[in-house]
Structure 1
Amino acid sequence: MKKLLYYSVFCLLSSVFWVSPSYSQQITTITVEGIGAVVKGDLAIAKDNALNDALRKAVEQAVGTLVQAQTLVDKYQLISDEIYTKSQGYIKKYTIISERPDLNQGILKVTIQANVSIGDIRNDLNAIGLLIERKGKPRMMVIIDEKIGGAESGYSANLSESETVIIQKFTEKGFNFVDEATVKKNMKRNMALQAIGGDDNAAASIGLEYGAEVVIIGSAVAKLAGKGIAGTEMKSIHASITARAIRADTGEIISSASEKGAIAHLDETAGGALAIKKAGEKLASSLIDQIIAKWSGEVGGQTTVQLTVSGIDFVSLNKFKTIIQSQVRGVLKLNQRSFTAGVAVIDVETKTNAQSMAEELAMKNFETFKVEIIGLSSNKIDIKVIPL
C-alpha cells in the first residue's frame, strides 16, 4: 500500500513540476489580491505594501501544490526537501488589475495578475531586476585587499583588479553600486583596514556612512607558483580570493565565497592581475547566486527584521513581545537576542517587511506606553518606548 502511495505522489510531482528538455522553466499565471494598511491616510505606502503582499501570495500559490504534496509524503517518512528546494518560484512580471481603498477598515486592496516561474532565476535578467526593485534597489560597495607578488597588502585609494571585476559582474546582473572612486578617496584608512581584517561591524559602519546597504569585503592574493614552464620564460601564477557580503544595517553576512585562478604569463605583475580577474569572476558569480537566493526567499516567503527597542523595562518588554506575536500581521517567530540597560534587541521572522511592520507598531495600543519609530532601514527598526 505504501509503495502505491509513493508511486502516486511521485507521479503527481512529476506531472505538475517536470519541465521537458525543450523548456527551461514552467510559468504559471496567478490572479491574487493583496492587502496593505492605510496609516495616516498614506495610500501610496499602503499600495506598496498591498502589492508586496499580493506578489508573495502569487508565489505561494504557484508552489502550493508541491508544498501540499510534500506534506502528505512526509507523513509516510518520504523526504522530498531536495525537490522542494529546486522548485522555488519567482515573479517574472505582473500587472495591477485594480486597487480599492477601504478607509472604514483602514486598508487598501490590490489585485494583480502575475506570471510566476518555477525554475532558476539566476539567468533571468528581467526577473532579477524585479527582485532588486522589490528589495528597494539596495546599493552595494566593495572593498578588497589585493596583493600581487611582492607588493605590500593593505587598503588602496584606487580600485583594484578584483574590485573592478566584481563591480562589473554585479552590474551586468542589474545591481547598483555607490560611487566607488569617490568613496575610496574619502574613506578612513583605519576603518578600511579593520573591515579587511575581519571586523564585520567596521564593514557595516562603512556601508552606513557612505550610503551602501550591502558591503562586499575580502582579500585577494596572486603569487608566483613556478618558472620556466616547459623550458620557456613563461611563469605559472596562482591567485586566490575570498569575500563576504554584509548587510550594513544589521551586520548580517548574506553570502560568502572563496575561489582560485591560475594563468601562465611572462610578467608576474600582469599575470597576477589576470589570475585575480579569473578568480574574481568566479567569486562574483558565486556571491550573486547566493544573494539572489537569499533575497528571493525573503520576498517570496519570510525575512528577518531586527528590532532595537530602547527605554523599556522587563515587564513592558514582555507585553511588547506578546502584542507583536499576536497582533502584528505576518509575524512568525520572535528571537530575543539581548536585553541590557533598558535596550532590547529582537529578531522577528515575518512574512511582511520592515516598512509594513513599523507602520503597524506605530498604530498599536500598548496601554501603559507608546512606541516611537526613530530609525528604519530595509532590515532594521529602531524603536523608542515612551511611558504614559
Structure 2
Amino acid sequence: MKANLSLFIFLSILSHLNFGCIYHQTKEIPNELGYAEVEVQGANKDEAERNAKIEMIGLILGELVQSQSIIVDSNSKDYFIESSREGLIRNFKILSDTRLRDGIKLRASGYVSKKLIGNALDEQYKFIGKPRILVLISEKIGNKTIEAGNTGSEARFISFFPGFEFLNKDKVLEISSKIKNYSQSIESEIFRNKVVESAVNENCELVLLGSYEVRQGGTIVEGSDMRSTFAGFSYKLIETRSQRILAADTIKGGHPAIDLNIGSDKAIEQILNVLVPSLKQQLASKWQRGYTINLAIEGMNYDSFVDMDISKTIRSIRGINSVTERGQDSKGRILLDIEALFNAGRLYSSLRDYKDRLGFSFHSKQIEGNSIVIEAEKALSPQRSE
C-alpha cells in the first residue's frame, strides 16, 4: 500500500513538472517567436536557404511594423542576415526541395526571434542613428490658411512616428522661411526641389510634404448644432538622396462636430490612423537608407593613393556599401563617391578611427551636407587588417 502511494505521489509530481514545461514552451512561441513558412528559389541550395531566411525575417518584420513603433527600410532584412546573429531563426527546417533547370526551389519553416530583431534594430540605430525626416504640412481650415513649418498637422504626424528623429523646430522654421516665396503646392517640382535641397543640407533622409484641408458642411440633424466636417490630406514622401517619390496619396476623412477646429482635430486623427500602417509598409518595401557622400583628398598624389590601397580600406569600414573612384579634379584632388548608411559627419569620424589603417594622417578642411574635403599631412605605417 505504501509502495503504491509513493508511486502515485511520484507520478503526480512528474506529471505536474511535464505539464509546466509544455505550458512554458507554448507560451514562449507566440510571445517571443514568430512562426514563418515560406517558398523561395535560388541558384543553389545555399542561396535558396539564405533567401528563405530573408523572407521569414521579412514576414515577422511586417508584423512588428504593424503592431509596434518600428521603422525599417528595405535593406534591413539583408543587414540582419549578414550580421550572422545566433538564434535569430530557430528550428529552421527544409520541408521540401525541388530541382529546377536554373536552380532549386525550397519550402522551409522556422521560428524568428522577435526579441533579437528588436535588439538588432536598437543596435543598428545606435551605430548609424535613427532616420531623420523633415515634415512640412500646410493647412487650410475653413477660410484660414497656415503655411507649412508650424502647424498642428505636423505635430500630429510626428506623434505617430516615434521611430524617427525629426528635424528640430528652429531648423524647420528656418527652411520654411527660405521657401515662403515659392508656391507651396506639393505638385510644384520647383518647390519640392528647394525643400529636398534644404533637407539634404540638414542630413535628412526623408521629406514628407503635405497639405491638409478642412471645410464644414451643413447640420446633420435639423435643429442641431452638430455639423458635418469634410477633410482631405494630400502628401508626397520623398527619399532625399535619390529624390524618388516613395509614396503619394490623398486620404479623405471627416468627423461631425459643432466647432470646425474640433472637427479638424478629430479628422486628422482619423486620417493618420489609416495612413500610418500603409506608409510604414511602403517604407519597408521601397526605402533604402543611406547617403552618397563625396570625399575629396588634397595633398596626395594618385600613385600613393593607389599603392596604399586606400579605397579598399575605406570600403572595409562598417556601414560603407561601396566606394567609387572618380579620378582627380582640376585642382589635383582625389575624388571618391562613397555609399554609406550614415552621413558625412559620421563618415569623417569613422575615417579618423581608421587613420592608422589608412596609412596617412589628415585634417578636415570642409564638412558640409554630403561633402567632405580632407587634406593629407603625412604617411604613417599602415596597420592593415586581413
Q: What displacement does 1:217 show?
A: 3.6
C-alpha distance in 1, partners of 2:351/2:183? 31
Match in the other structure for 2:270: 278
Q: Is the 8 A contact 1:241 1:276 kept in 2?
A: no
Does residue 190 in structure 1 map to residue 166 in structure 2?
no
Q: Which of 302, 308, 324 is residue 295 of structure 2 equivalent to?
A: 308
Match in the other structure for 1:169: 160
Q: Secondary structure at the match of 2:266?
A: helix
% identical aligned pairs: 14
Query: 5+ unaligned residues in a row in structure 2: which ranges?
Result: 1-40, 62-78, 379-386
Does residue 347 in structure 1 map to residue 373 in structure 2?
no
> For residues 199 and 319 of structure 1, do their structure 2 counterparts lie closer, same or farther at Cα, with a shift above 3 Å needed?
farther
Question: Which of the pair has more CA radius of gyration?
Answer: 2
Q: Which of 231, 237, 245 is residue 238 of structure 1 equivalent to?
A: 231
Q: Is the 8 A contact 2:133 2:204 kept in 1?
A: yes
Does residue 146 in structure 1 map to residue 172 in structure 2?
no
Q: What displacement does 1:263 show?
A: 1.3
**Letter matched to residue 338 of structure 2:** V
C-alpha distance in 2, partners of 1:215/1:16? 29
TM-score of the superposition, structure 2-length normalised?
0.51
Match in the other structure for 1:50: none
C-alpha distance in 2, partners of 1:386/1:18? 45
C-alpha distance in 2, partners of 1:200/1:184? 16
> For residues 18 and 153 of structure 1, do their structure 2 counterparts lie closer, same or farther at Cα, with a shift above 3 Å needed?
closer
Q: Is the 8 A contact 1:245 1:287 kept in 2?
A: no
Aligned residues: 298
Q: What displacement does 1:241 show?
A: 2.6
Match in the other structure for 2:384: none
Q: Is the 8 A contact 1:227 1:235 kept in 2?
A: yes
C-alpha distance in 1, partners of 2:310/2:132? 34
Q: Aligned runs of 1:1-388 on 2, under 5 Å?
A: 57-59=83-85, 76=102, 92=115, 116-117=116-117, 128-137=121-130, 140-152=133-145, 154-155=147-148, 159-171=150-162, 173=163, 175-177=164-166, 179-180=168-169, 182-183=170-171, 189-191=177-179, 198-200=191-193, 202-205=195-198, 208=201, 213-214=204-205, 216-224=207-215, 234-235=227-228, 237-244=230-237, 256-266=247-257, 268=260, 270-289=262-281, 304-309=291-296, 311=298, 319=306, 323-325=310-312, 328-329=315-316, 333-335=322-324, 341-342=330-331, 346-349=336-339, 354=347, 355-357=349-351, 359-360=353-354, 363-365=357-359, 372-374=363-365, 380=370, 382-386=372-376
After superposition, give the CA deviation of every residue in 1:239-284 in whole Å (9 maximum; x if it has no partner): 123143556xx68669544351311435555434433333344444
Query: 5+ unaligned residues in a row in structure 1: which ranges?
Result: 26-52, 93-115, 118-123
Q: What displacement does 1:145 show?
A: 1.9
C-alpha distance in 1, partners of 2:295/2:198? 17
RMSD of the alignment, in Å? Answer: 5.9
Q: Secondary structure at the match of 1:170?
A: coil
Q: Is the 8 A contact 1:138 1:214 kept in 2?
A: yes
> For residues 290 and 127 of structure 1, do their structure 2 counterparts lie closer, same or farther at Cα, with a shift above 3 Å needed?
farther
Q: Secondary structure at the match of 2:157?
A: helix
Q: What displacement does 1:380 show?
A: 4.5
Q: Is the 8 A contact 1:218 1:243 kept in 2?
A: yes
Q: Secondary structure at the match of 2:372?
A: strand
C-alpha distance in 2, partners of 1:74/1:307? 44
Q: Is the 8 A contact 2:88 2:112 kept in 1?
A: yes
C-alpha distance in 2, partners of 1:147/1:177? 23
C-alpha distance in 1, partners of 2:291/2:133? 20
Q: Secondary structure at the match of 2:161?
A: helix
Q: Is the 8 A contact 1:222 1:275 kept in 2?
A: no
> For residues 305 and 190 of structure 1, do their structure 2 counterparts lie closer, same or farther at Cα, with a shift above 3 Å needed?
closer
After superposition, give the CA deviation of every residue in 1:180-222 in whole Å (9 maximum; x if it has no partner): 3x5556666124666956344544536756xx74563412132
**Letter matched to residue 329 of structure 1:** S
Q: Is the 8 A contact 1:261 1:276 kept in 2?
A: no
> For residues 281 and 152 of structure 1, do their structure 2 counterparts lie closer, same or farther at Cα, with a shift above 3 Å needed?
same
TM-score of the superposition, structure 1-length normalised?
0.51
> For residues 204 and 359 of structure 1, do their structure 2 counterparts lie closer, same or farther at Cα, with a shift above 3 Å needed?
farther
Q: What displacement does 1:170 show?
A: 1.4
Q: Secondary structure at the match of 2:374?
A: strand
After superposition, give the CA deviation of every residue in 1:8-28 in whole Å (9 maximum; x if it has no partner): 97x979998998xxx968xxx
